[in-house]
Amino acid sequence: MKSMGWQVEEGMFIKKLGLLPCSFIKYQRPSWPIDFKKIEKIARKHRAISVKIEPNELRDKKIEKVFEKYGYKKDRSPMLPTKTVWLDLKKSEKQLLKEMHYKTRYNIRKARELRIETMRGDKVNEKQLKEFYEVYKRSAKRQRFWGLGFKQLKSLLKCFGKKGYLLIAKDKQLLGGLMMLIHDRVAYYSHNAATDQGRKRFGPTALVWQAIKLAKKLNCEQFDFEGITDERLPVTKKWQGFSRFKKSFGGNVIEYMGGFSKWRLK
């Protein structure tokens, strides 16, 4: 976040609003209990006109009432996914395959002839990342969502360094790629993209399965698919295609509370 121009203080991200003497604060995935007095102190210090909190908690009416008590309202446009899929990597590969949709297992078998290269984040060069980015950019346009810019993608992989991985699917040409990030024994599915030919040859499925196996070797305990459609939020309706894809690998659907916002105009 610092590399993208944000200040970081006490786990909160602070963005100055241009030349104005005020800022915006977002506090993402803090665990309960949350120190609201500390948040208010930092908000005053940085003259924040808005604070957005997205707690690392599942749905809980009691916690929602505490947010209301401190002047926060339920946010209909959270910045982080409010629903995701977790795979338990403590299970064997055999069990993980068994719990997948039968078509996903079939696609994994069909994609066996693809060559998948795994590169650690600190070993990926600019050329390799740009090649992946071009495929990623086209995929984002096709699926009609705003992806990251090249500088953001580069910064993300650089910051994770040895805990980031870029997996590339190839034959005679680049067919697709997947970025996986690791923190605290959790492997995060960050970005997955493929060419038209790569999709026809089940490249995205092969890449995810390779990432899952790699995460197990690295002693991760959980694989987080980083977001699926949430019926509570109509804006996520357009995610249905890749949500089906993610769910096809099995795992458990996890539902977060979502976001809470407070305007500070005084």
pLDDT digits (tens, 9 = 90+) for 9-44: 999 999 999 888 899 999 999 999 999 999 999 999
Is the pLDDT at 85 greater than 80? The verdict is: yes
The arithmetic mean of pLDDT across residues 143-162, rounded, is 86
Is the pLDDT at 146 greater than 80? The verdict is: no
CATH architecture of 91-220: 3-Layer(aba) Sandwich (3.40)
Instruction: Look at residue 266 in the predicted model and tell me its pLDDT.
Output: 62
Work out the pLDDT band at 235, boundaries 50, 70, 90: confident
Tell me the pTM.
0.90
The arithmetic mean of pLDDT across residues 240-263, rounded, is 94
Dump the DSSP string for the chain.
-GGGT-EEETTEEEEE-TTSS-EEEEEESPPSSP-HHHHHHHHHHTTEEEEEEE-S-B--HHHHHHHHHTT-EEESS-SS-SEEEEEETTS-HHHHHHTS-HHHHHHHHHTTTSEEEEEEGGG--HHHHHHHHHHHHHHHHHHT-----HHHHHHHHHHHGGGEEEEEEESSSEEEEEEEEEETTEEEEEEEEE-HHHHHTTHHHHHHHHHHHHHHHTT-SEEE------TT-GGGGGGHHHHHHHHTT--EEEEB--EEEEE---
Is the pLDDT at 260 greater than 80? The verdict is: yes
The arithmetic mean of pLDDT across residues 130-134, rounded, is 94
**Domain boundary assignment for the chain:** 2-81+258-263, 91-220
pLDDT digits (tens, 9 = 90+) for 175-229: 999 999 999 999 999 999 999 999 999 999 999 999 999 999 999 999 999 999 9
